[in-house]
């Protein structure tokens, strides 16, 4: 008997009693697999899977098949043993597989902690992803997926309807993202004003392409990356000349999505638009559409509005029930000066009875031309309209903007990440997770909370997705009781027209 066999036999007899009594002692590193990646290189260890129970006879038999190996422990509650091989590990695997007590064997791979990193040209300017705990080392949302491929695969099953000015699907960062384009527009071509929704609709403003990039721009070694880059976009063009759309056009679009939500697997709606509504019937009909979308499992995310410094009025559709409303914060999680906020004196019964109609906050930026780095950088539709209402980059393909229009798609993208982590969650589950994991201490207004739940925390939300309690499907998780008829985009533009080369 060789030295290795003798040593192995002694060790085996010492641990067999523990194995048979259910007290196996194994030295194993506590590795979080959701932060790791399998590497093709191998260790000098092998797994050996026994056919039957871990009996002394079978373990001694395995040891005899591995004369150049040393027993290195076992995996608790399994029939898997670990051996450290002094020689050729591949040969050791083949040799031990011939043993009648062995079901299978393999080389133990290396696992590495993986931080999903970006190599896009503007990666260093995507501060919102850092502020929300999306990317970077350690406890970040992207690190909860095994690697880029898994993140892409998991989010690619999720479709987001972006209600806006359209989306330029030909932008390099949005290639393959737009799976459908719908335009909802009124026309008097037949002599009667009729609103219809049909296929088509280009982005003639740029705002929609900017929003879509925040949600799902792909990491492709250029430009930017969106928070949920695998998501697919359904562009619903409801904003037209001057960045405006009638409420009728928007309602038609919402009803189109409600009709197609289940057949087209639309899970999220982003509304970076809004206004006031004075018609109580229209208001109720819009609430009915929101309720219909909710009952079909859709999460509607809406910008809270940009009039926080000019009256702070109740803003729709953000104030409706079953809508996740989003205020804007700067890079320090302070409320952006333009952002709407909760105020007990601002009511609009029966939709807003206590002034608490804004749920969460997310990065929307707070900047000027001289501080463009504090804006939100995203894709721009340079082919039809230069980025003159924001701050253009030096190519014209990207634009710096700020507003609750930018905050809303960050939350829409977070919804996609939570769902990607656990597709079995209901819309009520997802919204509850995002609300309850938010930073309740920020942002503040005059010492009071500006939103009901606080600034979103992407890592905490995605990390909670697998252990979240089940919320009754269709139940409203928003603790609120929802008139300019031509809503406009909610993006705040810097006050000075910049040059083409900032």
- Asked if 326 and 303 count as a contact pair (C-beta separation under 8 A), the reply is yes
- Asked if 211 and 378 count as a contact pair (C-beta separation under 8 A), the reply is yes
Q: Is 164 a catalytic residue?
A: yes
DSSP 33: G
Closest CA to 171 of 202, 135, 195, 199: 202
Distance CA 369, CA 389 (A): 11
**List 95, 131, 204, 207, catalytic entry:** 207
Distance CA 309, CA 186 (A): 33
- Asked if 44 and 89 count as a contact pair (C-beta separation under 8 A), the reply is yes
Q: Is 405 a catalytic residue?
A: yes
Q: Could you tell me which residues are beta bridge partners of residue 38?
A: 111
Count of other CB atoms within 10 angstroms of residue 403? 28
Residue 81, class by beta-carbon neighbours within 10 Å (0-12 exposed, 13-18 middle, 19+ buried)?
A: buried
Distance CA 2, CA 5 (A): 5
Closest CA to 127 of 423, 373, 496: 373
Using CA atoms, how far residue 219 sits from 130, 178, 182, 214, 222, in Å, is 16, 16, 26, 12, 7
**List 339, 378, 405, 408, catalytic entry:** 405
In this structure, what token pair is assigned to residue 469? 């309690």
The residues assigned a catalytic role are: 164, 207, 405
């Amino acid at each position: 008997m060789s030295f290795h066999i003798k040593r192995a036999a002694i060790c085996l007899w010492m641990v067999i009693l523990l194995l048979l009594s259910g007290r196996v002692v194994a030295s194993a590193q506590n590795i979080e697999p959701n932060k790791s990646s399998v590497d093709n290189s191998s260790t000098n260890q092998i797994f050996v899977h026994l056919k039957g129970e871990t009996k002394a006879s079978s373990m001694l038999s395995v040891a005899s098949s591995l004369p150049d190996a040393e027993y290195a422990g076992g995996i608790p509650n399994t029939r898997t043993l670990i051996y450290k091989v002094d020689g050729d590990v591949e040969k050791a695997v083949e040799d031990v597989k011939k043993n009648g007590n062995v079901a299978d064997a393999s080389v133990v791979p290396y696992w590495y902690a993986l931080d999903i990193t970006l190599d896009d040209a503007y990666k260093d300017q995507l501060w919102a992803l850092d502020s929300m705990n999306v990317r970077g080392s350690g406890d970040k949302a992207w690190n909860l997926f095994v690697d880029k491929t898994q993140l892409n695969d998991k989010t690619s099953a999720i479709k987001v309807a972006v209600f806006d000015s359209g989306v330029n699907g030909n932008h390099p960062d949005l290639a393959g993202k737009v799976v459908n384009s719908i335009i909802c527009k009124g026309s008097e071509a037949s002599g009667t004003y009729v609103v219809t929704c049909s296929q088509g609709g280009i982005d003639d403003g740029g705002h929609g392409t900017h929003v879509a990039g925040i949600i799902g721009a792909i990491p492709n070694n250029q430009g930017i990356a969106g928070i949920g880059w695998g998501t697919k976009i359904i562009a619903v063009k409801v904003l037209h000349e001057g960045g405006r759309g009638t409420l009728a056009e928007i309602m038609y679009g919402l009803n189109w999505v409600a009709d197609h939500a289940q057949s087209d697997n639309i899970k999220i709606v982003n509304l970076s638009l809004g206004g006031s509504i004075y018609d109580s019937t229209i208001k109720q009909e819009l609430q009915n559409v929101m309720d219909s979308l909710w009952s079909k499992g859709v999460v509607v995310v809406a910008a809270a509005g940009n009039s926080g410094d000019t009256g702070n009025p109740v803003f729709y559709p953000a104030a409706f029930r079953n809508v996740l409303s989003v205020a804007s914060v700067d890079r320090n999680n302070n409320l952006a000066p333009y952002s709407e906020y909760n105020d007990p004196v601002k009511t609009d019964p029966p939709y807003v009875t206590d002034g608490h109609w804004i749920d969460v906050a997310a990065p929307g930026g707070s900047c000027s031309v001289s501080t463009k780095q504090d804006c939100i950088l995203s894709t721009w539709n340079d082919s039809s309209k230069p980025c003159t209402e924001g701050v253009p980059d030096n190519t014209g393909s990207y634009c710096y903007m700020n507003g609750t229009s930018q905050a809303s798609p960050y939350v829409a993208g977070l919804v996609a990440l939570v769902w990607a982590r656990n597709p079995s969650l209901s819309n009520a589950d997802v919204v509850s997770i995002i609300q309850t994991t938010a930073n309740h201490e920020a942002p503040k207004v005059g010492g009071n909370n500006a939103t009901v739940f606080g600034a979103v925390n992407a890592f905490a939300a995605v990390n909670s997705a697998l252990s979240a309690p089940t919320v009754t499907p269709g139940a409203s998780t928003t603790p609120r009781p929802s008139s300019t008829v031509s809503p406009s985009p909610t993006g705040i533009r810097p006050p000075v027209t910049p040059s083409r080369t900032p």
